[in-house]
Chains A and B, each alone.
Chain A
Amino acid sequence: MSVLIPNRYQGKLIVVEGIDGSGKSTQLSLLSQWLRSQGYAVAFSEWNSSPLVKQTTRRGKRKEMFTPTTFSLIHATDFADRLEGYIQPLLQAGAIVCADRYAYTAFARDVVRGVSSSWVRNLYRFAIKPNVAFYFRVPLDVALGRILGGRDALKYYEAGMDLDLSRNIEESFRIFQGRILKEYETMAEEMGFHVIDATRSIERQQREMRRILMQEIGDSLREGVLEAPRGTYYAKTYSARVL
């Protein structure tokens, strides 16, 4: 039951999804810099970043006040604010909007937390369907290796500690991410994800993304999305490296 609203605006919406440590943010940032270097007006939106909602989420997390339902709802509120105030008007204006995580993150996480899958899919029904959604497929151990090595402390909700999976935070994180991974795999087809093999080299993944992007929305990019004003090739230096 995927019922997102088709994007009828001139702008294009590109989304990356995957578990923590799949490398999706790195790839999205490379992709957006490349698009900028081509002269397109590119905007960026990150999960959980609405200025109206951030304080509430922070308070809830600090005091560990969330239940699966309120956790799900506050993230949907955050998403709604970014959609209504940012993503939607920018798409209308013809920009390319790159979103690091989208409704699918909620579909995976909230369901693992015990929220009904059809309820959370309905919750996000107001969301605009991405033109291209990339899913970074990575084995659990690879992702965990990237995360657990580099970061000093895992956070309570990020590790799914609210689910009482284990007293050990790393173990809890491992189980939680494993379950989220399963949810992603289950919905990959239903949601029409373009699957990227995230065990490959960064350069190769990036080439693959660009190829898919051109194949999916290349024509409409040529026909006219919003372009940056002349003389603003600010991202040129970044783009050369990867290509």
Chain B
Amino acid sequence: MRKRTPLEFYSTPLPGIDCSELQGKLIVIEGPDSIGRSTQVTRLREWLEQHGHAVLDTGMARSALAGKGIQEAKKGNTLGPITMTLYYTTDFADRLENEIVPALRAGFVVLTDRYIFSIMARAIARGEDRAWIERVIGFALVPHKVFYLRAGVKDLVSRVVLGRGHFDYWESGLDLRFGKDMYSSFVKYQARLIRVFDGLSKTYDLEMIDAARPAEEIFHDLQSSISRLFTAQRQLRKIGSGNGSRPALTPVKRRTYNKASSS
């Protein structure tokens, strides 16, 4: 229950990184477009900071090296699936080495909006070899926790319609034309992505969160799970509210989740 798992790499270690130096926590929020990941990240950050944790948040295509290049490439009509996968992998590697690892070294909680699973899912949904991409991206650190915000295609459709108001070219998989028009391509591509994600969930032990519910409920689930993570590591008393029997991170309402914290 209170194993203090040091971070490790999935398969190929990054040159020059000593995992035992990484003291922070790596927490990932995965899930499809417009599922509300960034809302949750913002709230989690606020909550964690209130409890005295330093937080770094990062996300896909935000690297200093490749972020801009990816945005540019997506504007055109020549970006192929393998190129896209590798471009995003470059972006991820740059953030891992220059943001995530230094923050973990400094003891931060790193909250990341998407991780390697979105890159893998998109690649696999586009027909690329799973073993290939798993090996390529195997330099990633195994996070302490990966949440997968899951919803069905119908739900995603209504989110897109009510949210952005139009279907995005890439999120509809139009580069490979999964359907004869934009809507049917979106539906087919997203259904495929969900299947792939469900498969990855099992292999990589992602915690599935039913995202077809109000944001508030999702937030509570995330909070209690993250609380348990900290509790299990017995860091509670150091940074907690001074009450030795309480976990450092108390979900606002559902305190029943913290039974394990009485130690």
- Shortest distance between the CB of A126 and any CB in chain B (Å): 5
Beta-carbon contact of A59 and B65 below 8 Å: yes
Q: Is B168 an interface residue (CB 8 A)?
A: no
Are the C-beta atoms of A84 and B81 separated by less than 8 Å? yes
Q: Are B81 and A53 in contact (CB under 8 A)?
A: no
Kindly provide the distance from the CB of B12 to the nearest chain A CB, expressed in whole angstroms: 5
Across the interface, do A70 and B82 meet the contact criterion of CB distance under 8 Å? Answer: no
Q: Is B208 an interface residue (CB 8 A)?
A: no
- Encoded as 1 (CB less than 8 Å from any A CB) or 0, chain B from 175 to 218 comes to 00000000000000000000000000000000000000000000
Q: Mark A54-66, 1 if CB is under 8 A from B, else 0.
A: 0110011000011
Q: Are A55 and B69 in contact (CB under 8 A)?
A: yes
User: Using an 8 Å CB-CB cutoff, how does the interface string of B62-102 with A read, 1 for contact, 0 for none?
Assistant: 00111011001100101111110111011001100110000
Contact B90 A74 (CB under 8 A): yes
Q: A115-B15, A116-B12 are in contact. Are A70 and B69 (CB under 8 A)?
A: no
Expressed in whole angstroms, the Cα–Cα distance for A118 and B139 within the complex equals: 13
Whether B169 sits at the interface, judged by CB under 8 Å, is: no
Interface digits, A168-180 against B, CB 8 Å rule (1 contact, 0 not)? Answer: 0000000000000
Residues A69 and B83 in contact, CB atoms below 8 Å apart: no
Q: Is the interface of A mostly helix, strand, loop or mixed?
A: helix
Over the window 148-171 of chain A, the binary record of Cβ atoms lying under 8 Å from chain B Cβ atoms (1 yes, 0 no) is 000000000000000000000000
Instruction: Contacts A73-B89, A80-B83, A116-B12 given; indicate if A122 touches B97 (C-beta within 8 A).
Output: no
**Minimal beta-carbon separation of B88 from chain A (angstroms):** 9
B165 to A: closest C-beta gap in Å: 29
| Bound complex: CA A115 to CA B12 (Å) | 9
Give the bracket for the number of chain A residues in contact with chain B: 20 to 34
Contact B139 A84 (CB under 8 A): no
CB proximity of A175 to chain B, nearest CB, Å: 18
Q: For B12, what are the chain A residues with a Cβ–Cβ distance below 8 Å?
A: 116, 118-119
With beta carbons under 8 angstroms apart, the residue of B15, B66, B73, B80 that contacts A84 is B80
Tell me if A70 and B76 are in contact (CB < 8 A): no
A84 in contact with B132 (CB, 8 Å): no
- Within 8 Å by CB of B86, from A59, A80, A85, A116, lies A80
In the complex, A37→B123 CA distance in Å? 42
One of A65, A74, A84, A118 near B82 (C-beta < 8 A):
A84
Residues of B within 8 A of A77 (CB): 83, 86-87, 89-90
Within 8 A of B (CB), among A95-141: 114-116, 118-119, 122-123, 125-126
Contact assessment for A73 and B93 in the assembled complex, using a CB-CB cutoff below 8 Å: yes
Name A60's contact: one of B65, B129, B132, B135 (CB within 8 Å). Answer: B65
Name the residue among A53, A67, A70 with the largest chain B CB count within 10 angstroms. A70
Tell me which residues across on chain A come within 8 A of B72, comparing CB atoms: 52, 55
The answer to whether A126 and B132 have CB atoms under 8 Å apart is yes
Residue A221 is within 8 A (CB to CB) of chain B in the complex: no
Q: Establish whether residues A80 and B94, one from each chain, have CB atoms under 8 Å apart when the complex forms.
A: no
* Neighbouring B residues of A80 by C-beta, 8 Å: 80, 82-83, 85-86
Q: Could you write out 10 A-B pairs with CB less than 8 Å apart?
A: A52-B73, A56-B65, A65-B64, A65-B98, A77-B89, A81-B78, A81-B79, A85-B78, A119-B135, A122-B135
Given contacts A52-B78, A56-B90, 15 further A-B contacts (CB under 8 A): A55-B68, A56-B65, A60-B65, A65-B64, A67-B97, A69-B15, A69-B97, A69-B139, A70-B94, A73-B90, A74-B65, A77-B83, A83-B82, A122-B132, A122-B135
